[in-house]
């Protein structure tokens, strides 16, 4: 009797002989989704496949909101989510440290005036979202407290003072999905648009409109692999049996509708203001990655397609200015960084610090500053011309990078192992140059 490994071998061997992989390549080459299109320069040779791309990584982990409106006449669009109407102070974050490995003061009890639920012992971050440099939400595993819940469950920690104090708030009464499980329901990520409206997703979608006191499931007709928020709208990449589509809803309601102009999309979702960026998908497939970068300047009503810097391979994008778009894309065994200064119509040549794995993380702080890396972070301050190593030495690998503005950012890093419980939250206040450990309760 053939065992599992033999059956896998036999089936893949048969698929090889049937040419299943060749048919897919042909489809990928033919698929061009939506949009008006622009002049297409000769495409560079695809070097590798996109499954292991870092595309889903950063955008899928966090939605960070651009605030700091007052400090710049034109708010810098670096966030993956966030209503432009939210204003915050520019008070320096409470996190202080004298070194890259320093820590903030120990978390105290809940902020006066706010009522929270008990915070679980030994919290560690599995998802993070922010609407300003001071107001964050951190998702952490927690004991199940409601009848019918299937472990593991989650709880959300909220801070409004940059990590000095946290309160606990309810998470959806559903399973906190996490590796190595293969869930059909539950959630793994959180996003908040403001103090009232938030979402939990992956693969199911849940919403709260009262700051987390009550959550309810939302049926969007498929599984949600990515979600980002901007200008009062939530955008989600929804996989269905017929493909993957982009949907949106006002953050304060659950009125989800498809954005058909985006066509089949994959996972490279980035939003800011009314700009929506997403990578095209392969028609008829749930998660195939296409050749184009789709850009909308009207909240997703219409899209223009431009050649992705690494066609057919997964990219993540960051628009730091309407004209400036960073891209971090898989290239093969490795990945690279590209920069467009004409709104995505064209990208410069591949750059980066060299020898980046596909799964490297990337986050742009400004038109010239970005951080990329996996086990070692590298920072550029000159638009990608040069990179220098940054980050605490005790972090063995990173699982998230994101900036709320040109100077403030968050990173999740593994210390001492790669289990979820080894994840630590780091904060940067100097554009990714140094990182300070933020202890959770």
Q: How far is the CB of 9 from other proteins (least distance, A)?
A: 5
Site for other proteins in 389-418 (CB under 8 A): 389, 399, 418
Residue 36 CA: distances (Å) to CA of 33, 129, 237, 307: 10, 33, 21, 12
Q: Are 288 and 28 in contact (CB under 8 A)?
A: yes
Mapped onto helix, strand or coil, the DSSP state of residue 17 is: helix
Q: CA–CA separation, 380 vs 407, rounded Å?
A: 13
Residue showing tokens 């919290």 = 123
Q: Are 234 and 191 in contact (CB under 8 A)?
A: yes
- Toward other proteins, which CB reaches closer, 53 or 208? 53
- Toward other proteins, which CB reaches closer, 83 or 239? 239
If binding is defined by CB under 8 A, does position 214 make contact with other proteins?
no
If binding is defined by CB under 8 A, does position 168 make contact with other proteins?
no
Residue among 44, 47, 102, 346 that touches other proteins (CB under 8 A): 47
| Interacting residues of 213 by C-beta distance below 8 A, sequence separation 6+ | 169, 170
- Toward other proteins, which CB reaches closer, 321 or 422? 422
Q: CA–CA separation, 321 vs 340, rounded Å?
A: 10
Mapped onto helix, strand or coil, the DSSP state of residue 411 is: strand
Q: How far is the CB of 62 from other proteins (least distance, A)?
A: 11
If binding is defined by CB under 8 A, does position 22 make contact with other proteins?
yes
- Toward other proteins, which CB reaches closer, 10 or 109? 10
Site for other proteins in 146-165 (CB under 8 A): none
Q: What angle do CA 359, 34, 318 make, to 5 degrees?
A: 35
Nearest Cα residue to 376 out of 386, 366, 391, 387? 391
If binding is defined by CB under 8 A, does position 70 make contact with other proteins?
no
If binding is defined by CB under 8 A, does position 185 make contact with other proteins?
no
Buried b (16+ CB within 10 A) or exposed e, 60-69: bbbbbbbbbb
If binding is defined by CB under 8 A, does position 354 make contact with other proteins?
yes
Span interacting with other proteins, options 69-77, 165-173, 206-214, 284-292, rule CB under 8 A: 284-292
Q: How far is the CB of 117 from other proteins (least distance, A)?
A: 23
Residue among 26, 36, 41, 51 that touches other proteins (CB under 8 A): 51
Q: CA–CA separation, 222 vs 80, rounded Å?
A: 22
Q: How far is the CB of 263 from other proteins (least distance, A)?
A: 18
Q: Are 48 and 330 in contact (CB under 8 A)?
A: yes
If binding is defined by CB under 8 A, does position 52 make contact with other proteins?
yes
Residue showing tokens 């999740």 = 412
Q: How far is the CB of 317 from other proteins (least distance, A)?
A: 17
Span interacting with other proteins, options 52-60, 130-138, 140-148, 336-344, rule CB under 8 A: 52-60
Q: CA–CA separation, 427 vs 438, rounded Å?
A: 7
Site for other proteins in 219-258 (CB under 8 A): 225
- Toward other proteins, which CB reaches closer, 134 or 372? 372
Residue among 346, 357, 381, 439 that touches other proteins (CB under 8 A): 357
- Toward other proteins, which CB reaches closer, 20 or 323? 20
- Toward other proteins, which CB reaches closer, 349 or 375? 375
If binding is defined by CB under 8 A, does position 332 make contact with other proteins?
yes
- Toward other proteins, which CB reaches closer, 228 or 356? 356
Q: CA–CA separation, 228 vs 191, rounded Å?
A: 7
If binding is defined by CB under 8 A, does position 21 make contact with other proteins?
yes
Q: Are 201 and 212 in contact (CB under 8 A)?
A: no
- Toward other proteins, which CB reaches closer, 232 or 357? 357
If binding is defined by CB under 8 A, does position 358 make contact with other proteins?
yes
Residue 140 CA: distances (Å) to CA of 151, 188, 309, 348, 421: 13, 10, 36, 40, 9
Q: CA–CA separation, 66 vs 230, rounded Å?
A: 9
If binding is defined by CB under 8 A, does position 6 make contact with other proteins?
yes
CA dihedral 214, 245, 319, 128 (to 10 degrees): 30
Mapped onto helix, strand or coil, the DSSP state of residue 228 is: strand
Number of residues that bind other proteins (CB under 8 A): 67
Which residues in this chain contact other proteins in the complex, by CB under 8 A?
2-22, 24-25, 46-49, 51-53, 56-57, 60-61, 177-183, 186, 188-189, 202-203, 225, 285-288, 332-333, 353-359, 374-376, 389, 399, 418, 420
């Amino acid at each position: 009797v053939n065992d599992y490994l033999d059956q896998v071998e036999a089936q893949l061997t048969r698929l090889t002989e049937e040419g299943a992989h060749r048919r897919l390549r042909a489809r990928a080459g033919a698929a061009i989704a939506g949009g008006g299109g622009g002049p297409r320069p000769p495409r560079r040779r695809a070097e590798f496949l996109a499954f292991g791309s870092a595309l889903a990584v950063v955008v899928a982990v966090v939605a960070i909101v651009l605030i700091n409106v007052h400090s710049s006449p034109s708010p810098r669009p670096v966030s993956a989510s966030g209503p432009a109407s939210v204003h915050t102070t520019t008070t320096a974050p409470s996190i202080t440290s004298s070194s890259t490995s320093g820590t903030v003061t120990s978390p105290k009890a809940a902020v006066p005036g706010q009522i929270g639920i008990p915070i679980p012992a030994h919290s560690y971050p599995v998802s993070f979202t922010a609407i300003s440099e001071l107001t964050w939400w951190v998702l952490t595993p927690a004991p199940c407290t409601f009848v019918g819940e299937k472990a593991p469950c989650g709880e959300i920690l909220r801070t409004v003072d940059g990590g000095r104090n946290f309160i606990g708030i309810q998470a959806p009464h559903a399973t906190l999905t996490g590796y190595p499980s293969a869930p059909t329901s539950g959630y793994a990520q959180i996003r908040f648009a403001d103090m009232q409206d938030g979402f939990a997703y992956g693969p199911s979608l849940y919403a709260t409109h009262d700051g987390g006191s009550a959550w309810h499931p939302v049926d969007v007709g498929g599984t949600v692999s990515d979600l980002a928020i901007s200008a009062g709208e939530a955008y989600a990449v929804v996989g269905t049996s017929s493909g993957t589509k982009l949907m949106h809803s006002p953050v304060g309601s659950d009125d989800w509708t498809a954005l058909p102009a985006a066509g089949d999309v994959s996972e490279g979702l980035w939003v800011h203001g009314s700009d929506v960026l997403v990578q095209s998908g392969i028609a008829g497939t749930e998660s195939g990655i296409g050749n184009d970068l789709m850009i909308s300047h009207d909240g997703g009503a219409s899209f223009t397609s431009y050649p992705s810097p690494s066609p057919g391979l997964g990219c993540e994008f960051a628009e730091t200015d309407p004209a400036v778009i960073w891209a971090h894309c898989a290239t093969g065994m490795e990945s690279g960084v590209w920069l467009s200064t004409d709104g995505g119509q064209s990208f410069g040549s591949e750059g980066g610090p060299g020898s980046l794995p596909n799964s490297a993380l990337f986050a742009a702080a400004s038109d010239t500053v970005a951080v990329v890396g996996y086990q070692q972070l590298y920072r550029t301050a000159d638009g990608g011309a040069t990179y220098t190593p940054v980050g605490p030495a005790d972090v063995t690998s990173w699982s998230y990078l994101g900036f709320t503005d040109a100077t403030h950012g968050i990173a999740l890093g593994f210390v001492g192992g790669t289990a979820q419980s080894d994840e630590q939250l780091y904060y940067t206040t100097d554009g990714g140059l140094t990182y300070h450990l933020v202890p959770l309760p």
